Chain A
Amino acid sequence: MTHTVHDTGVHATGDHDAGETRAQARGGADGYRPTATLTYATEMRRQLSRRRTQLTLGFMFVLPLIILVAFEFGGNSGNGGGDRGQFAALADIATTGGLNFALFTLLVSASFLLVVVVALFHGDTIASEASWGSLRYLLAIPVPRARLLGSKLLVALTYSGISLFLLTATALAAGTARYGWHPLRSNVADDIAPVPALWRLLGIVAYLAVTLLIVAGLAFLLSVSTDAPLGAVGGAVLLQILSSILDQITALGSIRNYLPTHYSQAWLGLLSTPVQYNEMIKGAIAAVVYAAIFFGFAWWRFLRKDVVS
């Protein structure tokens, strides 16, 4: 005798019940509600308990202080001369005020450090649970898979955001304490008064956050695809570096416009007078599209995946 779902003896529950009773009607244990599992707060706690989270956040706090000390000890060697581009330009005026110091700190962090940090927070999400073996127990609670990804992604985004904010805030506070609250100077435009300059700095942080979504998406996608956390983090960083290298090859022509890192410097437009939004908007569009593709594919993959780790 074979049974089918629609056999006799089957009754369907309506959906007018309240959440809890519905979950129980569907066989859940007492007190079990899918929407209460692995909440944002719980996942925040779980991640905060990890050394890597604590160390990363600590480093974001310490880095500006290290840079500050380096400027203090380094003195003014004034080797000048050679054209070292934007970096030298901003390094030379980094000590003219807190805003400039924060800007410089962001500049030196944006291209690699922040990429690694974001890749770490996102690439580690699912892969580390898989490598510990705890992923299968979360799924057996059961935490619905989409919810698991959602909680983990939100938490990863939160910690990435906190890192970015912490770095900027510390740099701004330390820089202002040491160098004072002066207008933002740049070598390409007139000084910008402190208050508008603060808005621009926030704009730069926001733009960096948006472009880092690409790394976040890529690392997250790799994280659901592999059981090795380092593989996901490293893979995301490697691809980012590859994209940066390809972007240097002008022979690629217009293809470069589609590289994920092509607009990573567009925030310089916020230092222009008047502000140049064009590249930034394109960069934001590219970032959102890339991130949507990566995140979408991560969801699509994880919801169908056989978890065998």
Chain B
Amino acid sequence: MPSTLSQRLRRALPRIRWTRRRVVTWSIVAAVVFAALVWAVLPKPAAYTTQARMLTVHTGPNGTTAVNLDTTYYEPRSASAAHPVPAVLLAHGFGGTKDSVTNQAEDLVSRGYAVLTWTAEGFGASGGQIHLDSPDWEIKDGSQLIDWLATRPEVEKSGSDDPRVAAVGGSYGGGFSLLLAAYDKRVDAIVPTITWNNLATAFLPSADGGAPSDGVFKKAWAGLFFGNTAFGGSGSGVRIPRPGDGSTISSVPGDSPANDPTNDPACGRFAADVCRAYLSIASSRAATPADIALLERSSPAGVLDRIKAPTLLIQGEADSLFPLSEADANARGLAANGTTVRVAWFTGGHDGGSGPQSDQDRLNKLTDQWLDYYLKGTGPTPSDAFSYSRIAGLDANTNGVVALAFDVPRYPGLGGQSATQVAVAGPPQPAANPPNGTPAAISSLPGAGGGAVSFARGITTDVPGQHADFYSAPLEHSVDVVGSPRVSIKVASPTGTAVVFVKLYDVDPTGSLSLPDGLVAPVKLTGLPARIDAAQPVTVTLPAIVHRFETGHVLRLTVATSDQAYATPAAPTVYTVALGGVASDTGIALPSVHSVEQAGSDGPWWWALGILVAALALGTVAIVMLARRRSRRRVLAVRAEYANVPLVVRGLRKEYGSFVAVARLDLEVRPGQVLGLLGPNGAGKTTTLRVLMGLTQPTQGEIYVFGHRLVPGSPVLSRLGALVEGPGFMPHLSGRENLSLFWRSTGRPPADSHMDEALDIAGLGSAIDRRVKTYSHGMRQRLAIAQAMLGLPELLVLDEPTDGLDPPQIAEMRRVLRRYATDGRAVLVSSHLLAEVEQTCTHVAVMHKGEKVADGPVDDVVGDSPTVQLDVSDVGAAERVLAAIAGVQTVEAEGDGLVVNMDGTPRSDVVAALVRAGIGVDRIAPRRRLEDAFLALVGGDTKASGER
């Protein structure tokens, strides 16, 4: 009957034995792996809840305009009326919504703060209009959000209506936090990021210290905000990078009130007064006092004295919108009133994005520390140290920048703590102002965001003919600039006014230029003479930078007439530009600070690696020592009674899983013996020899070689030479090289090898120097026997040694083995051939189905037995005749044959007696005992033990 598919499959596939130990081991491994995967994949259950709701505030100058604000409230699960937590008002940036700050809100709520985010008036799903953080509108909204927080039982309170609350936010949200702290005393701490001090000077700067009424309009940034936000971000949304959450925000197009047809199409969601101010400034390139008043009302500059909340000011270095000077003005104003203030700079900003991870980590840590101490009242007192970071290079792994962070004990301001004067030189030069500001030089790319402008060489360009350049000599020492460099220039203009852009380039020895952070100093000068001789020097404060001018680099001071980001006079003019001051004083003052580099975040990792390597090294040494000690201390059992017996096997049992290869074996090989281990294929002979060679562990039983217990790796194995399961040589080497390398591997003296005798026995002649892979089966076999005999081991173990040999070689091998077993040596030969054992061995042990069935001297076991087989013509008569002979008895009768026990009676007598009785004798054959034993015990069943 054909076997079923499943049966065939089962036979074809490897069988896995599911012992209990394996099941347990693999179950544990599987469980651990599974648990690790689940742990890694499953989202962690949030430790907070979120509630989105529309809150209605009553706002405006009269507090009567109802505006709906789209809010989300993040409440830690741990918060309750019994365990109230402090709250954080988290404001978003310009053009964003409450969703822009989700990541930061989640961070804060995870740190145990109740967080309220909302979409500011005029954005997203909130109602109202954009009033630029006006105290009458957005700030009033904020106060009412604090009122709402005060009604929450789980929010901690200082007084009946005074929750513990901080205001945190970037850019537009940063301005909000400062202004809210100024107008609402309930704010306990603020962390304003990349924000302004004075909107008027931020959008209408002049680097000679001029008033906003005489400033240069920052048209690119202003237009970007106005154009994109007013109309709900139709077209490409402005993407303003924000520090802290690593994301950028963009204005969202869609069904916002921006598309409400009742809105003024020129103003979108901007409030009418803000819109009018923008349109006026943008069209005239100058601000009226009313415009400036409106911008200043939305600025912290005038109300810094009202802010008492401890303030952490974070400002970006790559920020052409709100440069470091804005944070500097805030810091000075706050410090003048005794308010606790701390300043930190990072390498990002409105131009530079959120900065590298190291910067983000540093700022997050500072923020957490600040809030923990001033809001929650936990953690160490934050120091008032100033920290900043410098772009040191590019990270090839992340394609981002690498920033190094530094600490200065106190905030030094933009003037630094010391200054290096670097002389620059150059003749007065003409520079043309292009009509309508086109073509214009490019310094920054407002709104492009996320890039390190100063490193993207080639972005900054100057238009030929539109700039004057002054060079320094190559620097003899590198200079680390932290702060605003100052320089004095003179400008002449036929119109009496000029708008110029002063910038400080870093020129490397190959001549390639970089403009640190893409920052320029716009200057608007009035009352200028037409001739340069008559011009008065003007001191220009360059933008604050953090930059290292390397040794050998050259400083280039450039005075350009145009810049794409700024509004310039429309009329074409040619200015003349020269360095200010007297010849000895025509230098750039580069401010520096005395800073200490912060330890990198790699420290703990280095430690981890060091500890790991040390632990592994120590562990390895310990294991090796322990193993050596254990093997040395192992009870070295020497059984005196076996000391002169080459091999004693006691109760050997070997199981492979559930399969018993050797059930029980007792065996002795005495000196001078050649013991044949005889048995059909699969009787357990090879398994026994494997155990003898220390290849496998016996399941039970003991083996002694000259009285020494033999286990895998026992030194006594060195007194045993073996050939088991065929030869094993390196096929690419010659026979001689194989033997000599083998002996080398034993580490024993070359003289002990008896190499020549071994080679003699192999008898390979010149073939000994041929590669083994060219050998025939028999040649390899002889080489393997020679290898086993190397060093003349006292016990030689050979598995089927005559396999592959021709008859003369077999005969020779017999002699060799007989001769070998002298001088106290012994040989153990396994074979499945009766004749071979008979001819080679002195003693024999018969194995069958994993057990020994007979043993003794070959003559006893194999020699003539007392029985003969008789084929006679009349079996009945023959039995009677034989019964009459004393001592002879019939053992068995079958057909014409009789098996007769002669018991010493000569065969000739028996035959004579039979013949005399008239019985014909066809055949008389002596029977051999081994055959008796073998056939009786094996019973003709020569199946391998594996097939039992």
Contact = CB atoms under 8 A, between A and B. Distances in A.
Contacts of A11: 638, 640
B676 to A, nearest CB: 21
A132 B637 CA distance: 35
B835 interface: no
Nearest to B791: A29
A238 interface: no
Given A10-B639, A132-B730, A28 B716 contact: yes
A45 B397 contact: no
Contacts of A34: 713, 715
A12 B636 contact: yes
Interface string B31-69: 000000100110000000000000000000000000000
Contacts of B742: 137
A288 B690 contact: no
Given A15-B632, A132-B728, A272-B395, A37 B745 contact: yes
A31 B752 contact: yes
Contacts of A254: 40
Interface string A1-37: 0110111011111010000001111111111111111
B404 interface: yes
A243 interface: no
Contacts of B382: none
Interface in B342-381: none
Given A5-B637, A29-B718, A42-B741, A279 B747 contact: no
A142 B793 CA distance: 13
B726 interface: yes
Contacts of B640: 9-11
Interface in B688-719: 690, 693-697, 702, 705-709, 712-719
B213 to A, nearest CB: 44
B690 A308 contact: yes
Contacts of A7: 639
Contacts of B706: 27
Interface residues of B, number: 83
Contact of B696 (A2, A292, A306): A306
Interface stretch (B436-444, B604-612, B860-868, B905-913): B604-612
B746 interface: yes
Interface string B612-637: 11001000000010010000110111
Interface in A76-108: 86
B694 A189 contact: no
B272 to A, nearest CB: 48
A282 B605 contact: yes
Nearest to A89: B396
Interface string B732-760: 11000100011011111100100000000
B732 A29 contact: no
Nearest to A135: B728
Nearest to B780: A133
Interface stretch (A56-64, A143-151, A158-166, A215-223): A143-151
A258 B13 CA distance: 33
A115 interface: no
B694 A10 contact: no
Interface stretch (A67-75, A119-127, A167-175, A262-270): A262-270
A141 B402 CA distance: 58
Contacts of B639: 3, 7, 9-10
B713 A145 contact: yes
Contacts of A32: 715, 718, 746-748
B722 A140 contact: yes
Contacts of B6: none
A49 interface: yes
Interface string B648-662: 001100001000000
Nearest to B656: A306
Given A15-B633, A32-B715, A308-B690, A133 B725 contact: yes
A276 B737 CA distance: 51
A202 interface: no
A205 to B, nearest CB: 17
Contact of A276 (B395, B608, B719, B726): B395
Given A11-B638, A190-B393, A272-B395, A28 B694 contact: no
A183 B399 CA distance: 22
A284 interface: yes
A188 B394 contact: yes
B747 A33 contact: yes
Contacts of B720: 140
B396 A268 contact: yes
Interface of B is mostly: mixed
Given A5-B702, A140-B694, A31 B749 contact: yes
A271 B399 CA distance: 11
A255 B33 CA distance: 13
B719 A274 contact: no
Contacts of B601: 278
A146 B712 CA distance: 12
Contacts of A5: 635, 637, 702, 709
A128 to B, nearest CB: 9
Given A32-B715, A139-B695, A288-B612, A6 B397 contact: no
Contacts of B719: 27-29
B894 interface: no
Instruction: Please indicate which of the listed interface residues B396, B600, B741, B748 has the most CB atoms of chain A within 10 Å of its own CB.
Output: B396
B715 A189 contact: no
A58 B737 CA distance: 23
B221 interface: no
Given A27-B719, A50-B732, A133-B727, A285 B612 contact: yes
A3 B642 CA distance: 11
A27 B693 contact: no
Contacts of B709: 5
B285 to A, nearest CB: 41
A132 B731 contact: yes
B392 interface: yes
Residue of A37, A129, A141 most packed against chain B (CB within 10 A): A141
A306 B695 CA distance: 6
A306 B694 CA distance: 9
A11 to B, nearest CB: 6
Contacts of A37: 745-747
B745 A141 contact: yes
B724 interface: yes
Contact of B397 (A12, A39, A265): A265
Nearest to B394: A188
B638 A2 contact: no
A226 interface: no
A114 interface: no
A307 interface: yes
Nearest to A186: B396
Contact of B393 (A24, A129, A274): A274
Nearest to B601: A278
A292 B616 contact: yes
Q: Which 3 interchain pairs have the tightest Cβ spacing? A: A133-B728, A36-B747, A27-B716
Given A189-B394, A277-B600, A306-B697, 9 more contacts: A2-B650, A3-B650, A13-B636, A23-B715, A49-B732, A139-B693, A273-B393, A281-B606, A281-B609
24 contacts: A2-B650, A3-B650, A23-B715, A28-B718, A29-B794, A30-B748, A31-B748, A32-B746, A33-B747, A34-B713, A37-B747, A49-B733, A132-B730, A133-B729, A136-B695, A136-B724, A137-B728, A140-B720, A141-B717, A189-B394, A278-B605, A281-B608, A285-B612, A289-B612
Interface of B: 37, 40-41, 392-397, 399, 402, 404, 508, 600-602, 605-606, 608-609, 612-613, 616, 624, 627, 632-633, 635-641, 650-651, 656, 690, 693-697, 702, 705-709, 712-720, 722, 724-733, 737, 741-742, 744-749, 752, 787, 791, 793-794
